[in-house]
Chains A and B, each alone.
Chain A
Amino acid sequence: MPFAGVDFLQLDELLTEEERLVRDTFRRFVDDEILPVIGRHFREGTFDASWPRKLGSLGALGASLTGYGCAGLGPVAYGLIMQELERGDSGVRSFASVQGALVMYPIHSFGSEEQKQRWLPKMAAGEAIGCFGLTEPDFGSNPGGMRTTARRVGDTYVLNGEKRWITNGGLSDVAVVWAKTDEDGAGQGGAKSVRGFLVERGTPGFSTRDIHGKFSLRASVTSELIFEDCVVPASAMLPGVQGLRGPLSCLNQARFGISFGAIGAAMACYDEALRYTKDRKQFSRPLAGHQLVQAKLVDMLEEISKAQLLSLHLGRLKVAGTLRPAQISMAKRNNVRMALHIARNARDLLGANGITDEYQAGRHMCNLESVFTYEGTDHIHTLVIGEDITGIPAFD
């Protein structure tokens, strides 16, 4: 039976007709195109090469941007796409998040007209793939310490350094790379000197290496980007932003979508656990007839319902223009936590079956470990909110 959604509080009534239509399109897309093949891709550690174009033809890539072949959707409709994609798999949602929020968004917001024309239409169609290089081997939660540099030489920049844990890295036609420059009097080498560069595949001195042995996000490509005296024209720099504000503003876009995405993974796990426990009998009754099992199912439903309200409300704030980054931190932190918790409990209720890839819960559980860590770890979001309410930053 196809997935019918989880809507205990009748929150559908708070959605517009357009938002529901968008959600339903991607709900069906996931049933038809993702779920039949995701088990195999996860097992084999492969990303389906047909996904980018399929997502592009429906308009899912950069869906909240306007112009340049993008759909111009509102934030809630965009969030609901992320929710449905992650109901399929966090890896598929990661692909779309990175493409839309971390690559197309900065090009759209900070790029030159020429950069926009060159990349956005092709990326919206899924004909070109992008990646976002911020994290380095020695700088994860603290990207301001990054070591990658861009040295100005005449009309060019020379990039040196290494980025790691980069989603889509090995697949990408273009990388948005954040590096420290030595000019503009911007406190030489400090966080203020960070600039973004568009580095195209095939540029001499730029190579990628995929990371293997993952037990999480196996249907998504994660790579290292290596820059060794990589020369790019000065026009490859994103002219519109300087300092860590550039990458952080992208992350805010992506985190907003992730807060919706996590709900999708949680719904998939809850739905699976509910069906399974109603079906399987132990001790003279269905598993779902035991009090402890019901308590777990109710906890799941309650957490999902609260998370739905949280994300929906932030979407409305985003439209109103009053959404603050610390609020996005709360949604990312709360929703990913609850999704991970639900995935673990769903895995439990499925018993031994829960450890196989015939069922979804184990896959979502492993995937959500990455989602817990990337886009700001759970700790980091705690500290962002902590600083917001106390006025005291607990990190540097």
Chain B
Amino acid sequence: MKILVTAKRIPDPGQKIKLKGNALDLSAANWQLNQFDEYAVEAALRLTEDGAAPATRQGAVTVASLGPADVQQQLRSALAMGADKAIRVEAKDEELDAVIVAKTLEKLVRRDQPDLVLMGKLAADNEGNDVGQRLAALLGWPQATFACSIQVVDGGKALLVGREVDNGVEIKKVRLPAVVTVDLRIIAPQAVKNGRTAANFAYPEGPRYASLKGIRAAKDKPIEALTLSGLGVSTALQVKTHGSELPPARQAGKKIASVHELVEKLRSEAKVL
């Protein structure tokens, strides 16, 4: 199976947000791979290998990102995990919106013709959660979002994708080629079944570590460099950011002496009674 995985670099979500004027100040950001994309890389590797003998792979995993030259670091870490090659489309962060990203990915998919596009369900910076859906629409491919499990069926022609919904797990069958976005549970030990790995095989929980062997091997794997104009993608932004502001600081709470006073305040101040 040929899989295209998308990877976005995002500022460390644990870092405090800084503003410069009314724009985000990312000059001191600690960049990292969006965690859901890392899960997608892990899922793609599990789909293309025999878990008991990970060195023997069937198929290939390509990781693609749009961003400045620094993104190479995140791509290299996906290659070190085991992906076969990478594509970087040159762009500054402020030159991108979900429409441009989806259209760029569409060009890559039409060019390389993967059987499956695996993506994180969202990027944990702006939590947009729409590139996967847009891409499927542009391609006219079936989509399954928020996958918590993937099983290859019909001799590799379709997937059974589990999605956690309010009252349980919904299983969708999608024909390949398709777009699948993954949620957190896709990295559970037995969430991915490719039909080659023994049915009872259990991976360690979580995305795999880049081993030193993997890191060394990643040095020699190709990272193809492309441009938006080279791919023929219009660079006019459809989504414009007009400003950013921090949420108002929380007011200190008040201590209340008696139940009587509490009821009184709920009525007069909170007006919920």
Contacts and interface: CB of A to CB of B under 8 A. Distances in A.
B151 interface: no
A58 B210 CA distance: 8
A138 to B, nearest CB: 40
Contacts of B73: 17, 20-21
A18 B219 contact: yes
A58 B211 contact: yes
B129 interface: no
Interface residues of A, number: 22
Contact of A17 (B12, B30, B76): B76
A351 interface: no
Contact of A71 (B80, B209, B212): B212
Nearest to B30: A4
A73 B214 CA distance: 12
Given A17-B73, A17-B76, A63 B212 contact: yes
B210 A21 contact: yes
Contacts of A22: 212, 215
Contact of B216 (A4, A24, A60, A72): A72
A389 to B, nearest CB: 38
A58 to B, nearest CB: 5
Contacts of A72: 216
Interface residues of A: mostly helix, strand, loop or mixed?
helix
B268 interface: no
A314 to B, nearest CB: 21
A63 B213 CA distance: 10
Contacts of A18: 215-216, 219
Interface in B172-212: 206, 209-212
Interface string B55-84: 000000000000000001100110010000
A4 B15 contact: yes
A387 interface: no
Contact of A21 (B14, B15, B77, B206): B77
Nearest to A21: B215
Contacts of B213: 59, 71
A57 B211 contact: yes
Interface of B: 12, 14-15, 30, 72-73, 76-77, 80, 206, 209-213, 215-216, 218-219
23 contacts: A4-B12, A4-B14, A4-B30, A5-B30, A17-B72, A17-B73, A17-B76, A18-B215, A21-B76, A21-B80, A21-B210, A21-B215, A21-B218, A25-B209, A25-B210, A25-B211, A25-B212, A57-B211, A58-B209, A58-B211, A58-B212, A63-B212, A73-B212
